[in-house]
Structure 1
Amino acid sequence: MKIRAAYVPERNRLTVAEVELDPPKERELLVRIHAAGVCHSDLHTLKGELRTQPPLVLGHEGAGVVEAVGPGVTRFAVGDRVLINWLPACHICTQCQSGRPNLCERLASTTYQGALIDGTSRLHTEEGVSVKQYLSASTMADYAVIPEDGAVMLQEDVSFDVGAIIGCAVITGVGAVINTAKVRPGSSAAVIGCGGIGLSAVLGCVVAGCHTIIAVDVFDEKLAFAKQLGATHTVNARQEDPVQALKSITGGGPDYAFDSVGSARTIPQALNATGPAGVTTVMGLHAALEDVPISAGQLIFQNKSLLGCFAGSARPDIDLPNLQRLYLAGKLDLDKLISKRYPLDDIALAFEDMEAGKVARGVLVFDS
């Protein structure tokens, strides 16, 4: 079938074009996409800075309705509302069996290469040239074929646009707070970088019961979003030294720091800012993949910790339903996290707004 998609035929070339989508194979679903989140990872991929290289269709945050199922599907039926889990784990490797499906060993040879579980893609051009599926998903299109393990039920009272962002931004940011750092109630926390993941971490700190939540960014608009979501203080890193500001606000440094930028500049800042026994969690990845200078003295003599966090250290089958429950209980204000909606044809504008710091999280919406 022909679909309209955010198609990247080569690095730094973004088009909205028709591509061909084959029917679902064994244990796969055809999903009509109703909403797709706009993530920095998609932009990095457009620029050729991450593993999956063109030609490809972008998008890994998404939600929609199952239109068809392949042979062997047991968990979903036509008409089910689903959100996309872009980490379709194998459940049998050492990492999966150890409770770390976000680190599934199969992902390196399939998902990160732009393929589904069998190593192939369901996308191709009219001429028959294979087109990669970004993170086993490619949700920036009106339809997608995904693995059965790449979907989670979307509850009836959760909108498609909220469901879409839960699958990456929210599970990463909230997961960094709850799963990775295991923040204690009554603590202080700083969040460096207030894009979708950083703002989700702000929400996670609210859920965790932090009494002080400091948002750090270089865009005042993003800091305003952070305040709306529960940040108690904000720091514009262009106007003041963030390390000194964080120490001043907290009287010695926050208990926790969350870095969603992940650069050679921000990681040491986050580590330096925390107080004794502080925990710094890196949950974002700078495109340059830089080496980072770290003071071993801080780690040892101040008993500090530096943690890495991939995809919120999440168990998607458990965490994605739980995040929906928190949202429905009024504990996660995800409606405020979505600040602008775009049609697919405005995908370039959505990326521009994201880079300019004009949005908290942008979402592509498709006609019902």
Structure 2
Amino acid sequence: MSITTRAAVLRHSTTDQPFATSTPLAVEELTLQEPGPGEVLVRITAAGLCHSDLSVVNGDRPRPLPMVLGHEAAGVVEGVGQGVTDVRVGDRVVCSYVPSCGNCSDCAGGNPVRCVDAQAANREARLVTGRRPFRDASGAELHHHLGVSAFSEYTVVSPRSLVKVPDEVPLETAAVFGCAVLTGAGAVFNTAAVRPGEAVAVIGLGGVGISAIMAAALAGAHPVIAVDTVESKLDSARAVGATHGVLAGDDAVEQIRDLTRGGVAVAIEAAGHPAALSTAYAATRVGGRVIITGLPHPRHEIGIPIVSLVAEEKSILGSYMGSSVPRRDLPRLFDLYAAGLLPADALVTSRSVPLDDLNAALDRLHSGSEVRQIITPGG
């Protein structure tokens, strides 16, 4: 058995812009096999467009192609395969792009983002069950994006990729919790463990960076300094808790150090660019923590004076998906949103973008004019 679904398919990566003209994403009518054992059919109602999607389109993050793109989403369970007891038909759910196996030492130890089986599945662009359930008009198999493939009316995922969404959280907002909020807030709460009164700078104000600003303010950090190349994004950051905004440039580090009498305790790099990481490192005080959440091109490297790591006792920590445990952290974050303490609606700068406008939406994302655009695959 299978169903028909419209989906955005990437067959070739390209840097040819504008994407609205080169149209790397083609909306195709596909068949989707029904969920097998340990799988769930989800109707996608909202999907966020993220820089991680753009990095697959432009080739910065090479993935097996052709692929049904999209990894940040929320929707409704429409069917469950044999052995699935975590969710039921009708449940409102948000997707996590690291499914985890639940059995390995990392999963058992509370670090599911490090799950070797899940990382292998994502690297090979398949589900953790081993399947790729999308087929094109010729019957050819299509690759899965990070276990989700959200730019489709329907998709099949692992139940370990799903967390239930409370009724008080709109699905259009819940979608951004699966990547942007979980990564940015997790970097603050989990990786950095920010303490009240610590000075925090966030470099790069996309969905992850704005989420980190919200979380830093909620954690009681002071000051909370937002850094970006786009002035309007500094205004957005101030609206959700930043106490200061600094335009990225030659004097950004000096401004941050002046504001904090020598540097921040925590600098969160959320731009995925070597220059942003250099700024973060230079703006961190003696004994400070530099948290890297951005995913740059695999060839990018930076030089750090080794002596400063020792003499200044700085630490550099990678933070993948905010070092989160989705089934533990997402319910907590939803509760904070429902209480009015985590204003995640501020991330969404465009709603109800149809699948057919995805290429133009990529151009807006690349220009920096949008934080999160919400795609509605079903129209």
Distance 1:230 1:354 in 2: 23
Q: Which runs of no fewer than 5 residues in structure 2 stay unpaired?
A: 15-23
Task: Confirm whether residue 271 of structure 1 aligns to residue 281 of structure 2.
Answer: yes
Summarize the alignment of residues 173-322 of structure 1 with structure 2, pairs less than 5 Å apart: 173-238=184-249, 240-322=250-332
Summarize the alignment of residues 342-361 of structure 1 with structure 2, pairs less than 5 Å apart: 342-361=353-372
2:13 corresponds in structure 1 to 11
2:342 paired residue among 318, 328, 332: 332
1:41 corresponds in structure 2 to 52
- Runs (4+) of structure 1 exceeding 3 A deviation are none
2:18 corresponds in structure 1 to none
1:67 corresponds in structure 2 to 78
Letter of the 1:268 counterpart: S
Distance 1:365 1:202 in 2: 27
Conserved? CA contact 1:29–1:147, under 8 Å: yes
Letter of the 1:364 counterpart: I
2:143 corresponds in structure 1 to 132
Secondary structure in structure 2 of the residue aligned to 1:110: helix
CA displacement at 1:367 relative to structure 2: 4.2
Distance 2:264 2:166 in 1: 36
Q: Which runs of no fewer than 5 residues in structure 1 stay unpaired?
A: none
CA displacement at 1:109 relative to structure 2: 2.1
Residue deviations 1:141-168, cap 9 Å, x none? 1111111111110111111111110000
- Counting aligned pairs with the same residue, the percent is 39
1:114 paired residue among 125, 129, 149: 125
Summarize the alignment of residues 78-157 of structure 1 with structure 2, pairs less than 5 Å apart: 78-157=89-168
CA displacement at 1:189 relative to structure 2: 0.5
Letter of the 1:8 counterpart: L
Secondary structure in structure 2 of the residue aligned to 1:130: coil
1:77 paired residue among 72, 88, 109: 88
Conserved? CA contact 2:7–2:377, under 8 Å: no
2:17 corresponds in structure 1 to none
TM-score normalised over the length of structure 1: 0.97
Distance 2:64 2:58 in 1: 9
Letter of the 1:321 counterpart: P
Q: Which moved more, 1:181-190 or 1:265-274?
A: 265-274
Conserved? CA contact 2:151–2:377, under 8 Å: no
Distance 2:231 2:314 in 1: 30
Distance 2:290 2:336 in 1: 25
Secondary structure in structure 1 of the residue aligned to 2:359: helix
Distance 2:117 2:171 in 1: 28
Letter of the 1:306 counterpart: I
TM-score normalised over the length of structure 2: 0.94
Task: Confirm whether residue 29 of structure 1 aligns to residue 26 of structure 2.
Answer: no
Conserved? CA contact 1:112–1:134, under 8 Å: no
Q: Which moved more, 1:33-42 or 1:68-77?
A: 68-77
CA displacement at 1:42 relative to structure 2: 0.6
Give the RMSD, CA atoms, in angstroms.
1.3
CA displacement at 1:48 relative to structure 2: 2.6
